[in-house]
Structure 1
Amino acid sequence: MKFFHTRAIASVALFLSLLQGCATGKQGGAFEQPVGPAIANVALTFVKEDGSASFGTTTNASGRYRISLAAGRYYALASHPGYEDYSSAPGFFVVNPNTMGVGNFFLRPPQVTTVLIVRHGEKLNPNSNASTEPLSTAGQARAQALREALLRSGLTAIYATSATRTRDTVAPLAAAFRLPTQLYSSPAALASEVLAQHAGDVVLVAAHSNTMATVANAFGAALPTASIADFDNLYVVSVAGGTTSAMNLQYAADSAPDVSKNDRHAMTLLLVGTNASAGGALPQALLHAARKAGVSSIYASAATNPLVTPLANTLGLEVTGFNAADMTGFSSQLIASHPQDTLVVAASNDELRDLVRQLGAKPFPVIYDRDLDHLIVVTRFASGAMRVLPLRF
């Protein structure tokens, strides 16, 4: 009888061992960059590639986690109040069948808080101010375009007013990462909450034509009220310490009037590629995205770059060449000569990676060789605080 009991225990142990070996999911830890101490209480979220479901866990007191997941590809997000949030997009954590794969997260203390402010998309009834007024077809298209423009930005929090049109404008992006849309009414209270709870993170705020500037002002940016006819503004508001810098990009379909609204207190680089044909759609798309950003200089590693030609011509700027073989010297030149300017730098994807590396900017952007429409925003304050914000135009 004792022998049978012993054999039964051994069989159960073997079964559990085999079951453990067949487990599917991810395990690992969260650590301070570059390879610092483990971080406890990091909230981790794994979102299915199609956005159909998300699964969460939290690192334990030792900074470790383990989560069972079905095989597939997942966007991975990591959040902790004391560190910059992380998003794997556009990349994925891949979970293979019958494998408990390793996935570690490396977070850094907050440097720059980035607030992306947009107006809601076009309304079905342009003359209605009802809170339940839905988006028009054009507004729905703008909401989808916002998703594409910001999918790589690393954002981990979304805010909107209670109006249907603001919530619907951010809905496609919220659905992609299964992020809750948090409602706000007071810009001042919003700014206090974001700076306290999302220091160093990327946050999206949907506002109205007469409140976009109010929201930016609450974070310390001096921007004027936008025209009621302007739907395509994308304000990039960066906060580091007691300094705020704001830049006016545009996205999706053009809308008049084109009045530039910037408040520059940091060097801002707009990094773009080189693979565009003259007369194609990409040069015009870049022109629309950056024409209101307050660009003062354009640099290119190649003698000719059709991508930046329309922008240079429209702004009346000469394209200045630089030696990509001396990226250390070029990055030092940018810092010394343009401490509070907005610049466009056009170069190959490898050269752009090298420039970001020489600047020491984080998070390091994912630039695929096939990418043609990337717009990588690098903001650098006099204190040395930096943030990389990967966008698409």
Structure 2
Amino acid sequence: MDTIASLFSFITWPVSWVIVQFHTLYGAIFGPDTGWAWGLSIVSLVVLIRICLIPLFVKQIKSTRNMQVLQPKMKAIQERYKSDKQRQSEEMMKLYKETGTNPLSSCLPILAQSPFFFALYHVLSAIASNKKIGVIDQSLLDSARQAHIFGAPLAAKFMDSQEKVQALGASLMDVRVVTAVMIVMMSASQFFTQRQLMTKNVDLTVKTPYMQQQKMLMYIFPVIFAVMGINFPVGVLVYWLTTNVWTMGQQMYVINQNPTPGSKAQDQYLGRLLKSVTAHGEVRGRTRRNTVKRIVAKGPDRNDIERKFVTGLAKLGLAAQEDGTVIKSETAVAEAEGGAAQRRQQPKRQTKAQRQTGAAQAGAKEADSTESGSKTSLQKRDAQDAQPKPAGKPASGSSRQAKSGQRKGPQRPKHPSKK
């Protein structure tokens, strides 16, 4: 870890400078040597970095959604060019280019944070070793070594020895309890973040291997964080716990305000939007109007959740417009009532047992009707035979008495040569 951190030593100076500036601010409030001053400085560093990374987070959201939409097409390409890996890669790149999707965009926030993370780790390791680094001089170094968060020094680790922890002015029990609690919280926040993404913000109508991969990562990432966390100083755990909580809150906001189409979150969001329109008679807010605008623009390509929302507006006598607003419309009410009546007239879906029973009953009825029909025809024929025949006409049975092979009706005269 120290070797990796040294690779990002070029950024340790700006990171240490930012921490010192925040420490000056919080030190005037809580005291320069307190854990609150140094801990809040690290938290403020995280918040500053994450604010700067918001544009990358937006790209990450768009890329993740595009990848979810493209999964069926990607799978079809893989099946089609299974034996030609080069052609498969070319078709994949062509698909990415046509849709404007960058697979690496989903990793941009993590990649962008990595230099700051390792730089902070390098700074805290130097504090633990009593070495000056960046803008942190000897006086700041002594102050940082005295700072404790719930009894654990900023530079202490879970795996540190008793002697090293005592040199920092703390007990091994306090250090391990604090670091263990922070590791559990860090892993739990990572798991909850991934879980709410899978359970609420995924299109449930599309079943792809991508979803299975995400489910695996939901359980793998917390384990990775737990294993790595035992080697992180307390200050780095504060950093990582803060960034996980920020990611969880940021994702929660995105899921509630801009959910993935076809997901459970979209159903909940459009339900809240329909209630708001019912209460106020209009679409309030630019974000909500943009949502309605996108639904209108889709036309027949709307998913079931979006069609349910449009139908709900129609039942209220409202029709969504291209600019995202709604207007009163009697036609919408009539269409909604007609659609509801048509849906009511549709037969209910039967089970397999019910279909087999119905088929057996239909066969029995058909057999009964055939038998009764044959009896009726026989009765009619007997009645016709019992009726007297007019004179000059042969009986109906005479035709049956004709010789085999003899043509019925008037016969042609035979040729003289055949007499």
TM-score normalized by the length of structure 1:
0.24
* Larger helix proportion of the pair: 2
Query: When you count strand as a share of all residues, which structure comes out higher?
Result: 1
Query: Quick check: which has more Rg, 1 or 2?
Result: 2
